[in-house]
Structure formats: structure tokens, C-alpha cells
A = this chain, B = another copy of it.
Amino acid sequence: MSLGIGDDAALLEPTPGHQLVVASDTLVEGVHFPSSASPQQVASRALCVNLSDMAAMGAVPRWFTLALTLPSEKANADWLSGFSAGLAKVASQYSVALVGGDTTSGPLTITLTLLGEVPQGEGLTRAGAAPGDAVFVTGTLGDCAAALNIILRKNSILGMSDRLLQRFYCPQPQIQAGLTLRPVASACIDISDGLVADLGHLCKASGVTAAIQAQLLPIAEDVRNFANFSDNFSALDWALTGGDDYQLCFTVAPESLSIVDDWIEQGQLQATRIGVLSAGDKSIDPVTVVDKNNKILIIEKAGYNHFGH
């Protein structure tokens, strides 16, 4: 970086032969995180969520700007030092530099703009998938829907909440997975609104449909257990429709499948094959979920919640 915070703008040195990858995301108090969140948690979540967009493109994140709108009761040294510490920790972990921004007075709102790079023409998009490609997801699904349930109910039965709360406030952007997948994935998206919704976006952009096998979905043991204690929710709903997991959903053409299977087997990539793509048909929903007898399941959208004001 040539010139960072303190001038009218930052002056940065793009890497020759690379495309620039740009994404902005906003978090609003009471909508994207509860008022009870600590400043560290808010900062950490804001940066992780934005880094996830870089992961989905197979980009190396490099720089970010921060636009922080703060109410007067939070414009104090305690809150700001907590926020800065949370931001610095994640920034250091993912080697991204804060290069500028703006601080304003108003209701708590955080907008980050991430800048990353990919070698010319190698970025992952939503639009490259084809019929016959396999569908994968990284990590496990439904963790954050379960965490939301804990936060909203102030419920932490049997000490099951620690890992899940950590997953909510520090979702792990799949930067390394994105870089690994860049040469082999035909399309990729990050799961911010739930698997069915986001895979639906990928299908529409690629002109295909997807059939997902419910019994193949990677769901953590604690999420299954926690769901058993929660009325009205099922771990499967959380995995299919729960937002905020920030795992990657990606597709792989048949000729590249053995590479990905090898990576998974050797532990180089934590991912699970969950379904397959077919030719597009605009008359049906782009994503179908079937049980092991290929019976189509009805998806309940109950898993995803916003925070009330």
C-alpha cells in the first residue's frame, strides 16, 4: 500500500495481471446482530461476512474500507477499542489491511467494502455450472440458525451454545477453500441466506436446476442435539434455510470430480457432496430436496429469523 488512512483517499498498488474483486456489505444493529452483541463480536462478524464474498469468488482479500455510523452512547473509548480489537484480530488472521473509511454519527450501522484480487479470468462466479455437475458444500450447515435460536431465546441448554455462538459472531470465511477450488469449481456462491436460496441463485445464474439429497447434508452433532430440544424447529430446516453460515456451495464438472474427492479424502478440503444439477426448467423451483427414497420434501422456511427492533 502506498498511502492509507489520513488522506482524502487510499492509494493502492494492484497486482499486474489480476482483476479487482469488490464487494460491500452492511450490518445494521437489531437487523443483522442483536443489541446485546459486544463491539468485538460486531466487528468480527462484519469483517468475516464481507470476507466470505471474497472466498466465493476465489479471490485473495487485500484491503478494506470501514464506514462506521455510531450512536452517541457508543462513541466512547471502551466501545471503540473493543471494536478495533475485534477488527484487527480478523484483519490480521486474513492478511487484509484497513485503508480508509468514514466515521459518522447515527444509528449503529457498519458497512465494509472489501477489495481482493484474482488472476485475470480465473475468478469463480455463479454462472458456470452445467447439467451433470455435482453440488458440494464446505463445512457444516445450520450452525448459525441454531446459534440465532440460542440468541433469540437466551437459551443455552446443556452448554451446547459456545461453539455455535462462536460460529455466529466469527463465521469462518472460506478463503482457503475458495483458492483451492478456483481451478476446478464450475460455479460457486457463499451461503448467507440459506442453502436453498443461495443455491437457487447459482442455478438461475447458470440456467440449471439442482436436486439435493437431504440425508447427505452435513449437520453437526450439536446442532442435531440442540434441535431435539427446540420446539418447532428441525436441524434439517436449519441446514436448508438457515442463513449466516457463510460456507461455500460449489459445483464440479464430472471430469474434475476425482480431484475434489481426493482433496476431501486427504483432508485438504472439508466439503461434502450433496446433490447433482440437471438441465434448467423455468417452470419448477430451481432447487429440489429429496429424501433417500427420492421423495420430494417440503421446505419449511421457519429456520431463518431477523432480530426485532
Contacts and interface: CB of A to CB of B under 8 A. Distances in A.
Interface of A: 2-3, 6-14, 16, 18-32, 53-54, 56-57, 59, 63, 65-67, 69, 99-102, 104-107, 109, 111, 113-116, 118, 123, 125-127, 188-190, 205, 306
Nearest to A116: B9
Contacts of A104: 26-28, 31-32
Contacts of A23: 8-10, 65, 100
A8 B57 CA distance: 7
A107 B105 contact: no
5 contacts: A7-B126, A12-B19, A13-B19, A23-B100, A69-B109
Nearest to A18: B14
A7 B125 contact: yes
Name the residue among A2, A26, A104, A118 with the largest chain B CB count within 10 angstroms.
A26
A12 B57 CA distance: 12
**Which of A8, A125, A205 has the most chain B CB atoms inside 10 A of its CB?**
A8
Contacts of A306: 105
Contact of A22 (B21, B63, B67, B126): B63
Contact of A113 (B2, B59, B65, B126): B65
A29 B16 CA distance: 40
A222 to B, nearest CB: 28
Contacts of A32: 104
